[in-house]
């Protein structure tokens, strides 16, 4: 078969473009793929940058796998629950023996493929498929009943960066059990050069067949001529000559040339000639006219080759002798006439072979460009294999894939479905993630090899792989990842944050937060630290529930190794610290049955002025409750009056009634009950009419009365407070979960912070190196942002606490302010905190509020909604930019481990037992020795609600009150319990100087009541006279 005929037949028959049509091939079966010869990675979530080209990232991944001896494997595996994507590497079982891998397949996966995926899709969740899961995937594909593969080359699309083929494929196939497997074998540089040579050969052979030129011409000519001539001539002569010549020669020549000539011409002319001649013998006259015109176009292409060689020898000899004579006499007469007409015409025709012309265009515009791109990025022999559980599903899958991957142009070898059976071994090869290899039965011709190259097929050493070579550009289009989120694969945008921060922090001052995150990837080798010295410039932590705020705060507290106070208004998550520190004091405010807390807001410190304390009490009440008209001023006047009732000189800040008012066991401070009672007197003195009096008294009682009832009353309506100065040396947690009212929580927070600030001043005065941390959760309850419609009193109170928190830095106090809603906080909190840690937040106003204080761009602010649990954006002094950090977890606040109430109660009661002299629980302070824990617990069980004294008084006042007191007495079962009751009643009923002389009679009375309750009535008057019991209020 001539080359020209082969070429013309090849381009005219579409079936010849496909391997499946070639009957001169036989299969070359591979070995069985072992489990260790394949490694897969599950793409669980893809992270992308909005302006970064995702397709280029995929190309980079594939370019990294230009390793001889492996196959790149891409799997889409779908079922009724969703779709899963896998990238992997399989050993090439057809590879030559000299292509031994430098590393095992699983090492190539871990050290090449996985880092490449993570680097190009930074922050994506990519996990290595474990052996059991890998076997399941392979078995699932093997069990699918129907299979085919697609042969051909995908078309090209102008804007293939946003090509959404995979997205639409998944949408169409969602719910079906199917699999798309793409196997790609990288080609070496020598193989790519071989393809290029074959393409050039095909191109050169096809170009002459593309066009053909034919030229036709016609010429007509007419002429008439006549002539008469007469002449006579006579000559004579003599000559003699001798010549001898000998010669020889040799010549050799070779000529080879190629010519290409194209001639275009046009001529037009007109001429006229008139002449006359005469002579002695003759005369003539002539006239001629000529008109010519013509156009010519000629193209010629030729090749010539010639070779010549030869030799010659010659010898000659001549001898001449002669004589001649002549005579000439002439008479000449010529007459003539001439007429000539000439006409010429030519036609040139060009024939074009459109099929050949289209293939030349395809080579110029598609194939050579693909090849050139692949030289740099890589070229892979690729097979697209489709599996499905049902025949109908396979038809839908194959048609969808062909439709999606057939582009706008470059469809000269379009994708075509080829059914697969296991008769020829191709199905087994595909299931082993191999590209089947075939062998020509006879040596393929040069024409065969070049034509296969044009069809993007590759022949090497007589073998032909069942696939088409594709550059990484086409491969990344068909083996791509979704542009949008689909069921089974999450998709989220990644935003860059800073990567450089201060690292020259002395080890002793480091607080490790966690590890740096670069575009979603945790850099395990780069820890991020805070400087302990910067803690006193305060820290703000925010994030929605469950985002990791508490874990972050606990990490800071533990690493700081400083004493701390945690105020937790709504949760009990800090109890877990009890598992790390066995001496953590956890108080359950509002739940006295577990770990009671005692705080008298009117008790101030020796260095503190009464005016300052009154201002803080007033600010706390205003921050917690809405106060209309003159109520704040009335409460302020009543507080001053209460202090005066207890012997305090307001101007001198001293007490005239108690010599040592701040000593343990001395009760020199008013209580909330005193305040409520005193407000009635103050209102009476203001001159209001009856209606206003009732309104004011009612409003004040409504706000304060609840604070004296139940567990809240036991906590706040007490004569002495817990020692805050002592608490500053301990690790303390205050749980306010049982305080349900938001306004009451805010009030208690205000009271606690007031005492805390003054205690800090004392500690700092005694020790300039003092350091302590206070962590305030849900800070907006006390430090809420002023809103239009709020009272000015509330605004002023919030400003008071904000100023107070700002000044504690100079006393060595570090504040950690925690809140879920930054937008609710007063702006001073965000502005005056040096370190900010932001976990996931959603509200736009919150992102703006916190983002503006951290120099975040709009893109970074929006990303705050996409942070994973445990990740945070951190900004502190000395850092040029905010960092993304994966926080290190030291505690588990959501685990099953639980700290029960009994454990907390035991620790707190042991603390109170040691502090018995303070008078927190009245009566214990007079004991000569520290009570045992059992005695202490027995004591407080009789006074859980402070009603024992009232029951005792009422016993003498009202007959119907006997039952209540008798029931209380029956609870006494031992002498120790009796002693505790006696001490409590003495303390509550008598001044210090009368307690000893009344003790004996009181003991006798309780003994008689218990031993002879039936004679109680006749003894009542006797004991009343001897005990000299004052039934009014104790003075």
CATH number for the domain that contains residue 805: 3.40.50.300
How far is the C-alpha of 875 from the C-alpha of 515, rounded, in Å?
14
Per-residue pLDDT tens over the stretch 739-775:
888 888 888 988 999 999 999 999 999 999 999 999 9
pLDDT attached to residue 288? 47
Q: Does some domain include residue 854? A: no
Q: Does some domain include residue 734? A: yes
Contacts of 955 (CB under 8 A, 6+ apart): 961, 962, 965
Contacts of 909 (CB under 8 A, 6+ apart): 595, 933, 936, 937
Query: In 3D, which of 539, 623, 514, 558 has the Cα closest to residue 819?
Result: 539
First to last CA, the chain: 131
Q: Does some domain include residue 729? A: yes
The answer to whether residues 83 and 177 belong to one domain is: yes
Dump the DSSP string for 827-841: HHHHHT-SEEEE---
354 within 8 A of 112, measured Cβ to Cβ: no
CA atoms within 13 A of residue 116's CA, in its CB half-sphere: 21
870 within 8 A of 887, measured Cβ to Cβ: yes
The answer to whether residues 743 and 753 belong to one domain is: yes
Contacts of 717 (CB under 8 A, 6+ apart): 671, 672, 673, 707, 708
Query: In 3D, which of 777, 876, 862, 871 has the Cα closest to residue 821?
Result: 777
Residue 337's DSSP bridge partners are: 226
Identify the DSSP state of 156. Answer: B
Q: Does some domain include residue 412? A: yes
The answer to whether residues 112 and 41 belong to one domain is: yes
Residue with tokens 């275009």: 264
How far is the C-alpha of 105 from the C-alpha of 111, rounded, in Å?
10
In Å, what is the CA distance from 424 to each residue of 334, 391, 420?
98, 21, 9
Query: In 3D, which of 203, 195, 201 has the Cα closest to residue 381?
Result: 195
Query: In 3D, which of 980, 946, 966 has the Cα closest to residue 1010?
Result: 966
The answer to whether residues 66 and 161 belong to one domain is: yes
Residue ranges of the chain with pLDDT lower than 50? 259, 261, 263, 267, 269-288, 290-292, 296, 300, 944-945, 958, 960-961, 1029-1035
- Indicate the SS3 state at residue 600: coil
The answer to whether residues 409 and 393 belong to one domain is: yes
Q: How many CB atoms lie within 10 A of CB 394?
A: 22
Q: Does some domain include residue 717? A: yes
In Å, what is the CA distance from 181 to each residue of 23, 86, 239?
26, 10, 105
H or E element in which residue 582 lies: none
- Indicate the SS3 state at residue 645: helix
The answer to whether residues 760 and 809 belong to one domain is: yes
Q: Does some domain include residue 643? A: yes
CA atoms within 13 A of residue 527's CA, in its CB half-sphere: 11
Domain ends where: 845, 879, 912? 912
How far is the C-alpha of 128 from the C-alpha of 171, rounded, in Å?
26
The answer to whether residues 793 and 936 belong to one domain is: no
The answer to whether residues 55 and 182 belong to one domain is: yes
The answer to whether residues 908 and 979 belong to one domain is: no
CA atoms within 13 A of residue 600's CA, in its CB half-sphere: 22
Identify the DSSP state of 780. Answer: G
How far is the C-alpha of 783 from the C-alpha of 806, rounded, in Å?
12
963 within 8 A of 955, measured Cβ to Cβ: no
pLDDT attached to residue 380? 97
Q: Does some domain include residue 328? A: no
The answer to whether residues 904 and 797 belong to one domain is: yes
Structural domains in the chain (count): 4
The answer to whether residues 47 and 148 belong to one domain is: yes
Pairing relation of β-strands 813-819 and 336-352?
unpaired
pLDDT attached to residue 710? 84
The answer to whether residues 61 and 114 belong to one domain is: yes
CATH number for the domain that contains residue 698: 1.10.8
CA 983, 984, 989, 991 torsion-angle sign: positive
Domain ends where: 705, 721, 737? 721
Q: Does some domain include residue 963? A: yes
Which domain does 792 fall in, by range? 535-597+723-836+899-912
513 within 8 A of 811, measured Cβ to Cβ: no
Q: Where are the beta strands (DSSP E) in 327-359?
A: 336-352
Residue 280, both tokens: 């002695």
């Amino acid at each position: 078969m001539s080359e020209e005929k082969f070429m013309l037949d090849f381009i005219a028959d579409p079936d010849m473009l496909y391997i499946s049509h070639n009957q001169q091939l036989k299969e070359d079966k591979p070995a069985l793929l072992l489990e260790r010869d394949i490694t897969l990675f599950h793409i669980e979530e893809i992270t992308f940058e909005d302006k970064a080209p995702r397709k280029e990232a995929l190309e980079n991944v594939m370019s990294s796998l230009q390793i001889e001896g492996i196959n790149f494997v891409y799997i889409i595996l779908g079922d009724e629950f969703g779709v899963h994507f896998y990238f992997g590497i399989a050993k090439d079982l057809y590879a030559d023996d000299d292509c031994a891998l430098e590393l095992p397949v699983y090492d190539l996966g871990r050290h090449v493929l996985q880092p490449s995926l993570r680097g190009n899709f930074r922050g994506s969740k990519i996990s290595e498929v474990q052996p059991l899961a890998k076997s399941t995937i392979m078995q699932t594909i093997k069990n699918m009943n129907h299979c085919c593969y697609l042969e051909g080359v995908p078309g090209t699309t102008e804007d293939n960066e946003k090509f959404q083929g995979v997205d639409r494929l998944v949408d169409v196939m969602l719910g079906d059990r199917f699999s798309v497997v793409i196997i790609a074998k990288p080609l070496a540089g020598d193989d790519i050069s071989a393809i290029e040579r074959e393409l050039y050969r095909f191109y050169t052979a096809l170009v002459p067949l593309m066009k053909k030129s034919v030229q036709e011409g016609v010429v007509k000519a007419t002429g008439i001529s006549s002539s008469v001539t007469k002449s006579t001539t006579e000559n004579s002569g003599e000559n003699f000559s001798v010549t001898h010549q000998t010669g020889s020669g040799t010549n050799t020549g070779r000529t080879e040339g190629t010519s290409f000539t194209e001639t275009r011409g046009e001529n037009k002319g007109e001429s006229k000639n008139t002449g006359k001649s005469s002579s002695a013998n003759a005369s003539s006259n002539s006239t001629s006219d000529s008109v010519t015109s013509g156009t010519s176009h000629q193209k010629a292409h030729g090749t010539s080759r010639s070779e010549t060689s030869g030799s010659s020898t010659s010898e000659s000899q001549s001898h001449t002798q002669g004589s001649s004579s002549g005579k000439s006499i002439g008479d000449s007469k010529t007459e003539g006439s001439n007429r000539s007409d000439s006409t010429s015409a030519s036609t040139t025709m060009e024939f074009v072979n459109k099929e050949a012309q289209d293939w030349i265009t395809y080579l110029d515009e598609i194939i050579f460009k693909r090849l050139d791109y692949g030289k740099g990025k890589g070229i892979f022999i690729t097979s697209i294999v489709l599996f499905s559980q049902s025949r109908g599903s396979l038809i839908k899958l194959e048609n969808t894939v062909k439709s999606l991957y057939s582009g706008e142009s470059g469809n000269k070898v379009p994708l075509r479905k080829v059914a697969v059976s296991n008769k020829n071994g191709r199905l087994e090869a595909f299931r082993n993630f191999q590209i089947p290899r075939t062998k020509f039965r006879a040596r393929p011709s040069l024409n065969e090899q070049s034509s296969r190259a044009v069809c993007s097929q590759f022949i090497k050493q007589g073998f032909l792989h069942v696939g088409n070579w594709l550059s990484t550009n086409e491969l990344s289009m068909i083996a791509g990842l979704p542009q949008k989120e689909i069921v089974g694969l999450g998709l989220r945008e990644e935003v860059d944050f800073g990567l450089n921060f201060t690292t020259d922090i002395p080890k002793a001052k480091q607080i490790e937060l966690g590890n740096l995150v670069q575009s979603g990837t945790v850099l395990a080798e780069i820890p991020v630290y805070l400087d302990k010295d910067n803690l006193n410039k305060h820290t703000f932590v925010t994030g929605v529930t469950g985002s990791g705020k508490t874990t972050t705060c606990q990490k800071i507290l533990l690493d700081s190794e400083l004493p701390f106070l945690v105020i937790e208004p709504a949760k009990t998550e800090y109890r877990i610290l009890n598992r790390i520190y066995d001496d953590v004091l956890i108080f359950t405010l509002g739940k006295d049955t577990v770990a009671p807390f005692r705080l008298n807001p009117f008790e101030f410190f020796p260095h503190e002025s009464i005016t300052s304390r009154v201002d803080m009490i007033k600010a706390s009440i205003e921050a917690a409750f809405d106060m209309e008209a003159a109520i704040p001023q009335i409460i302020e006047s009543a507080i001053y009056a209460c202090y005066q009732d207890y012997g305090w000189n307001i101007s001198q800040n001293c007490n005239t009634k108690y010599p040592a008012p701040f000593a343990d066991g001395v009760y020199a401070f008013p209580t909330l009950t005193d305040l409520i009672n005193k407000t009635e007197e103050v209102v009476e003195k203001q001159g209001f009419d009856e209606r206003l009096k009732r309104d004011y008294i009612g409003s004040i009682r409504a706000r304060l009365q609840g604070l004296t009832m139940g567990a809240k009353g036991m906590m706040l309506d007490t004569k002495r407070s817990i020692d805050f100065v002592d608490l500053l040396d301990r690790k303390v947690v205050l749980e306010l979960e049982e305080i349900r009212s938001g306004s009451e929580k805010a009030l208690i927070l205000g009271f606690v912070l007031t005492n805390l600030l003054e205690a800090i001043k004392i500690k700092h005065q005694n020790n300039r190196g003092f350091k302590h941390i206070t962590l305030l959760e849900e800070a907006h309850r006390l430090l809420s942002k002023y809103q239009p419609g709020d009272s000015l009193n509330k605004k002023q109170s919030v400003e008071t606490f904000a100023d107070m928190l700002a000044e504690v830095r100079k006393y060595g106090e570090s504040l950690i302010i925690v809140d879920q809603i930054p937008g609710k906080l007063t702006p001073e909190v965000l502005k005056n905190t040096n370190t900010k840690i932001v976990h996931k937040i959603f509200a736009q106003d919150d992102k703006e509020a916190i983002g503006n204080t951290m120099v975040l761009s709009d893109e970074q602010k929006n990303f705050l909604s996409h942070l994973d649990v445990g990740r945070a954006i951190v900004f502190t002094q000395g850092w040029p930019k905010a960092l993304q950090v994966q926080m290190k977890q030291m505690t588990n606040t959501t685990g099953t481990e639980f700290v029960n109430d009994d454990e907390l109660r035991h620790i707190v009661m042991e603390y109170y037992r040691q502090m018995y002299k303070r008078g927190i629980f009245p009566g214990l302070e007079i004991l000569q020795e520290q009570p045992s824990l059992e005695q202490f617990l027995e004591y407080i069980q009789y006074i859980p609600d402070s009603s024992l004294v009232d029951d005792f008084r009422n016993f003498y006042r009202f007959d119907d009150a006997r039952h209540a007191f008798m029931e209380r007495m029956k609870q006494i079962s031992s002498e120790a319990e009796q002693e505790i009751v006696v001490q409590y009643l003495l303390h509550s009923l008598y001044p210090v100087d009368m307690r000893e002389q009344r003790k004996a009679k009181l003991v006798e009375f309780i003994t008689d009541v218990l031993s002879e309750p039936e004679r109680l009535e006749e003894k009542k008057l006797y004991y009343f006279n001897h005990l000299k019991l004052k039934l009014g209020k104790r003075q």
